[in-house]
Structure 1
């Protein structure tokens, strides 16, 4: 259905995540084919949009040409494949082949994915392959070759901002369905993108105003509520609640072994460095999401901390933080003549070019040439002429 709207071209979209855990729609791309060259061009366009700043981490599906393009164009970016892109493949690859054994295989596969130790993963993976007779299976070979991009024990050392969660995946799907579900032409698609983006901004404001209820009597919770966004506070709050079911045992070297009272999961090693209040847990939750885990929180509680050290409130999850900086002449000012003029020109161009394929091809060809000419001229101009601008919009951390 999507290809019928996009003149049989491939549709791709770029998403991020804001400090309320909501997807941010950065933009989309229409590609004539799925070649390495096309994917590389799309990534180059994204980098230009981001003013040359490459993402720290990028998530994608298993497409080999897209993976190669990411490796080529974003060599310093960690490439992660979400487990939610892998699980449907696992079902289609192995359910018929293994038959009645598939349920046992799937249970072991899920357990392997969640292991904290890479050494444990390597050992149990080999055991699983042997037990189910999958040593020569090409799909098992593929998954193993890509293990550093999807297995938790390998990827949790990289910052994912909870983009690999089920909730985030569902939010992205809902956004895309909202765009395509009611459209029958490319023109309607572009109009719907604008509507969806505006609704997304309104949703952001609604979430920011949500009241955050206390669920414990811990001073750490009260202090965190004053700093974190509702999304981040809720995540930390859940970890605080669960931490009460854990016990921390101090070791001779000052580290701690933290375990659930029913031993429903393995022990976690928490390293505490009192000199500068550093805490590190073997589960790597903070490194991955920027939210302290139940194990680290258990140690802070046992040490009678009433407030968490400031370093454990990342700017990404603070109430006052934002992925974009706006000056006093904000984009939210609907009377901003500069913004309205360019928005109107863009909408008109999209509307006229999406009526026929001939128009679309012509606009794409001529616009590329004209933009190249304009950019070359603009880049030759001084970067500062002393005149104040009415509108500024620049990326920030």
Structure 2
């Protein structure tokens, strides 16, 4: 699947640069131009992620930390989740074999909980969080539900190291 996607992506990129009526020298000239353009865009993206600071919607310690460690696209996703966590409400807590299960809801347009989707965050005895939305496992970024439990229940103001995936950070260590 991955090789098919890579091949299709590469073919789509080539279409912008290559034409069927090009001879061999033209083909290589246009191919080299495409490689140079891709390399330049990659350098621009790296520069942007390292030297441009993204505006914070809410100046809090967790967002400042996230802005400093995450790449720009991941930080934007995290910040969106953080802002949405502000509107969530923890409506119930149940103990289940030493774990705590929190029910989170958001008001609907009419100001009640009844028509809203409920999400459940399980806090294990080791303080590890698991959310029913599974965003942490699928995308590798804390979801709004887990952020709400971290901040309001556990009183944690920074992202715990266990939730920071190396692949989403600016300081990607390629020697590991």
Q: CA deviation at 1:176?
A: 5.8
Alignment partner, residue 203 of structure 1: 44
Alignment partner, residue 52 of structure 1: none
Alignment partner, residue 62 of structure 2: 220
Q: CA deviation at 1:284?
A: 0.6
Alignment partner, residue 107 of structure 2: 261
Q: CA deviation at 1:188?
A: 4.4
Secondary structure at the aligned position of 1:226 is classed as: helix
Matching of residues 128-207 of structure 1 within 5 Å? 179-184=14-19, 185=22, 186-207=27-48
2: CA distance, partners of 1:265 / 1:191: 54
1:308 aligned onto 2:143: no
Compared with structure 1, are the counterparts of its residues 194 and 182 closer, same or farther at alpha carbon in structure 2 (3 Å cutoff)?
closer
1:282 aligned onto 2:112: no
2: CA distance, partners of 1:296 / 1:217: 19
Contact kept? 2:92, 2:103, Cα under 8 Å: yes
Secondary structure at the aligned position of 1:255 is classed as: strand
Contact kept? 1:223, 1:307, Cα under 8 Å: yes
1:233 aligned onto 2:75: yes
1: CA distance, partners of 2:28 / 2:4: 17
Q: CA deviation at 1:231?
A: 1.7
2: CA distance, partners of 1:205 / 1:218: 25
- Alignment counterpart, residue 292 of structure 1, candidates 111, 132, 142: 142
Q: Which has the higher contact order (CA 8 A, sep 6+)?
A: 2
Alignment partner, residue 251 of structure 1: 93
Q: CA deviation at 1:249?
A: 2.5
Contact kept? 1:219, 1:307, Cα under 8 Å: yes
Q: Unmatched 5+ residue regions in structure 1?
A: 1-11, 16-27, 29-59, 61-171, 326-395
Cα offsets for 1:28-75 (capped at 9, x unmatched):
5xxxxxxxxxxxxxxxxxxxxxxxxxxxxxxx9xxxxxxxxxxxxxxx
Secondary structure at the aligned position of 2:151 is classed as: helix
2: CA distance, partners of 1:240 / 1:176: 38
Q: CA deviation at 1:229?
A: 1.7
Contact kept? 2:140, 2:165, Cα under 8 Å: yes
TM-score, structure 1 length as denominator? 0.36
1: CA distance, partners of 2:167 / 2:116: 30
Cα offsets for 1:185-221 (capped at 9, x unmatched):
3434532442233123212323222212221143221
1: CA distance, partners of 2:94 / 2:138: 28
State the number of aligned residues.
157
Matching of residues 2-41 of structure 1 within 5 Å? 15=6, 28=7
Matching of residues 315-330 of structure 1 within 5 Å? 315-321=166-172, 324-325=174-175
Contact kept? 2:74, 2:168, Cα under 8 Å: yes
Contact kept? 1:179, 1:192, Cα under 8 Å: no
Contact kept? 1:178, 1:196, Cα under 8 Å: no
1: CA distance, partners of 2:5 / 2:38: 13
